[in-house]
Amino acid sequence: MKRLFPLTQARALALTQALLLSVLLSSSYAQADTDANYSELFQHGASSAELTKLTTQLSPSAQAKGDFSQYRYLKVLKKPLVSQGEFVFAKDFGVIWQQNTPFASTLILKDKQLIQIDSQGNININNADQAGSGNQMSELMPKLLNALLSGDIQQLAQHFSLSLQLDSNAEGQAPQQWQLGLKPTDPLLEKAMPQMVLAGNEQIQTLVLFSRNGDRSRIEFSAIDESPLTAADKQRFSPAPLPEISPNTAPQIEGK
């Protein structure tokens, strides 16, 4: 079943936060992250020279796919909520975030649309054509998520205040470990995610998202493949709705 919903500003904000907290090499439980762990990071503004060096090391790709493990730390729970799945992104198509466990759900973000597929295969399409300022958010998020997943520092610098720490112990070695702190400069974006931290070496390895209420989410990436998308990968950006069952085609119960 397919449903169409206008993407209002409030709905765009809620869905953006849900995608970033659902988007997206792990042990039974990941190491806990707190704002305090990164207080020093956010005190080091990134210089142009440092960002250039990081950009050279990352070599952003136009597409990638892989696996993710997500750990959501909620203040009301003692242990994190763990989910796993896979992602696909391409600058020419958008982002697919497919959770496989503990239950199936898929979010597809592409030009002016956010598509949600539940565990039953039902499809909800949120359209931004009549969204006002929500339209701005829907156009920004595919670019932002592509930049986050590919490590496109120049794109990130257009929307965030950046802080950077390079591993001094790895000086002169390649690849160098790094942490990149991001604080949104756009007020609407800042409401959805007040700050984030990316970490890795040649590729993005982890993404930590912080919310205003103190909850946080740590996403760890693995098995990243930057080869061109296949035809099947591209087809996943346009899912077909389940066929509707009419009374005439409904299965008959034996013996009736």
Residue 234 lies in a domain: no
Buried b (16+ CB within 10 A) or exposed e, 72-109: bbeeeeeebeebebebbbbbebbbbbbbeeeeeebbbb
Residue 253 lies in a domain: no
Residue 51 lies in a domain: yes
Instruction: Tell me how crowded residue 120 is: count the other CB atoms within 10 A of its CB.
Output: 8
Residue 237 lies in a domain: no
pTM over 0.85: no
Residue 239 lies in a domain: no
> Residue 218 belongs to a domain with what CATH number?
2.50.20.10
| Domain residue limits at 15 | 2-226
Q: What is the pLDDT of residues 132-178, one digit of tens each?
A: 444 555 566 666 767 777 778 888 888 899 999 887 654 555 567 89
Residue 36 lies in a domain: yes
Residue 129, pLDDT above cutoff 80: no
**Domain total of the chain:** 1
Q: What is the pLDDT of residues 197-224, one digit of tens each?
A: 989 888 888 989 888 888 888 999 999 8
Residue 231 lies in a domain: no
List alpha helices for 158-242, DSSP H: 187-192, 231-235
- Single-letter code of the amino acid located at 3: R
Residue 167 lies in a domain: yes
